[in-house]
Structure 1
Amino acid sequence: MRMAEEALRGQLEGAGWRFVQPVAAVTGRSRLSLRAAPDADSAQVSEALPGEPLELLWEDGTGWARVRTVHDGYLGWARADGLLPRGPVGNGELTVTALRAHAFAGPRISRPVLTELALGARLTRAFGEVVEEEHRRWVPVLLPDGQDAWVQEAALSARPDVDVAELALRFVETPYLWGGRSAWGLDCSGLTQLVYGAFGRALPRDADQQQAALTPVQTARRGDLVFFPGHVGVMLDDRTLVHANATYMRVSVETLGEGEYGARLQADLSSFGRWTQ
């Protein structure tokens, strides 16, 4: 079956195309894996965080859906049961600012955990008052599937980070995960997209796309991105970078030209990129 969205009608060669209109959807309460093919064994290409808007393009009849993320236009296959047609109606939207957090069944740390949250996940503020308990402030929320939950106000407060480099450093020791976009596990371009996005700088998903989106510069300064073949990191100064890498399977800090790994990075360096918008 040859599938394409309606906007491409008249632009594709050959016969037998079935055209579909994208339908708005959101990710459910858990992170949603986007895969390269409608197969659980295929590679994860990205993740959609809880509550993030998606476009449902079509379903294949076996439980898989072809989807596109709204914030960066990234395509992948996801389990259809991880999608919702819309988020709940409440008292406004909340964005998680903690690197990692949990939503609880009640306003107490001993209550059951309902789901894992991460920086950038979206919740709905439920109607009701903040509850204070043992000097903690609990905010009533609705998870994307509409279930009542409670999140500590600290996980929703303004970030203390002054720039993208400082935020990137907070991810040090986070496990490396191909296609990951959260502090539960991320890849190199997932880290850079996440920290730039937290400061209102929308980057594409992949390293080569990010390289094309930024202005090339000869000398790096703090907050610039550094590019290698198929890899990207955030510069802390003109020589030091923080990056999610499969060499150490975690987020780590390296100095260009220093040590065996630093020497390899220096030799492979292709360019620095700067946000100038």
Structure 2
Amino acid sequence: MEHGICMLSLVPLRAETSDRAELVSQLMFGECYQVINTEGNWLQLQLATDGYKGWIDFKQHTAVTPEYFSRWKSSSHARTLSLLQFISINDFQVPVGIGSYLPFFDGGSIQVNEVRYGYSGPASDTSVLPSKTQLVEVALNFLKFPYLWGGKSMFGIDCSGLTQQVFGICGYQLPRDAYQQVALGQEVHFVEQTQPGDLAYFSNAEGRITHIGIMLEGQKIIHAHGEVRIDQLDHTGIYNEGLKRYTHQLRIIKRILPSNA
């Protein structure tokens, strides 16, 4: 089985073997994966981070050794904190956005296979569980990012991509989709009892989880809806002051981090 790593700023992960196919997620720079199938010029991947599957164009694949992949998967990796920075080697640079992976970061460089690449920007510390304050500080960096189904970057992000990125930057791996994330944590029974970092989930008319956001102080929520924005939450759901109406119906609130984090 072949293994690979994303060596571009961002790579689309698609539902089928076509550039026109649905965008189901994105690969961030420095993220490793297994190649589990091939079809024409397309490779089906399974991500080492969250097990998510999808297809990429073979031209966007960079191979790594099985030994490197195994070491990558068993390690925690720093993530970029700046909206935009660069990975460099000699005169070659790759622009990387917030949340990109920094494999085996030593403070000034990363390692891919046996090659080291320079990185001099700020990086997260994933060696300890995040605090509520840290989660909120990271989440606020995503404000005004445009909404994009399947997106995980500053150029477009969806609701569960936002929560996964924020928690991932802080060293806590969440599954990719909201319906998977809702299985984690302990239920918070009343909106008035929420703490920063709690996750609020919202359902459609059929009762299916379709939206998610991160709680802030004062019963406010940061979420991706048209853009990453802050709105008010009550027992009914999210109230959009600009639209003068509720946009999402509250289903459940979960606490991922310990109360004393």
Give the TM-score normalised by the residue count of structure 1.
0.71
Structure 1 stretches of at least 4 aligned residues deviating more than 6 Å after TM superposition: 145-148
Cα distance in 1 for partners of 2:158, 2:16 equals 19
Residue in 1 aligned with 2:170? 199
Kept in 1, the 8 Å contact 2:198–2:257? The answer is no
Residue 255 of structure 1 pairs with residue 236 of structure 2: no
Shift of 1:238: 5.2
Cα distance in 2 for partners of 1:150, 1:23 equals 26
User: Measured at CA, do residues 69 and 96 of structure 1 come closer, stay the same or move farther in structure 2, by a change above 3 Å?
Assistant: same
Residue in 2 aligned with 1:18? none
Residue 83 of structure 1 pairs with residue 61 of structure 2: yes
Give the TM-score normalised by the residue count of structure 2.
0.75
Residue 236 of structure 1 pairs with residue 216 of structure 2: yes
Cα distance in 2 for partners of 1:210, 1:93 equals 20
Once the two structures are superposed, residues 182-240 of structure 1 have per-residue CA deviations (whole angstroms, 9 ceiling, x without a partner) of 23321110010111122332211011111122322212221101111211000003521
Cα distance in 2 for partners of 1:187, 1:170 equals 15
User: Measured at CA, do residues 105 and 24 of structure 1 come closer, stay the same or move farther in structure 2, by a change above 3 Å?
Assistant: closer
Q: Name stretches of at least 5 consecutive residues in structure 2 with no aligned partner.
A: 69-74, 204-209, 234-238
Q: Name stretches of at least 5 consecutive residues in structure 1 with no aligned partner.
A: 1-21, 131-138
Kept in 1, the 8 Å contact 2:197–2:257? The answer is no
* Alignment of structure 1 residues 1-277 onto 2, 5 Å: 22-61=1-40, 63-86=41-64, 95-103=78-86, 113-123=93-103, 139-140=108-109, 144=112, 150-152=118-120, 154-156=121-123, 162-219=133-190, 220-229=194-203, 230-237=210-217, 239-246=219-226, 250-256=227-233, 257=239, 259=241, 261=243, 263-265=245-247, 268-275=249-256
Cα distance in 2 for partners of 1:65, 1:225 equals 34
- Higher Rg: 1
Query: How many residues align structurally?
Result: 233
Cα distance in 1 for partners of 2:136, 2:116 equals 35
User: Measured at CA, do residues 124 and 221 of structure 1 come closer, stay the same or move farther in structure 2, by a change above 3 Å?
Assistant: closer
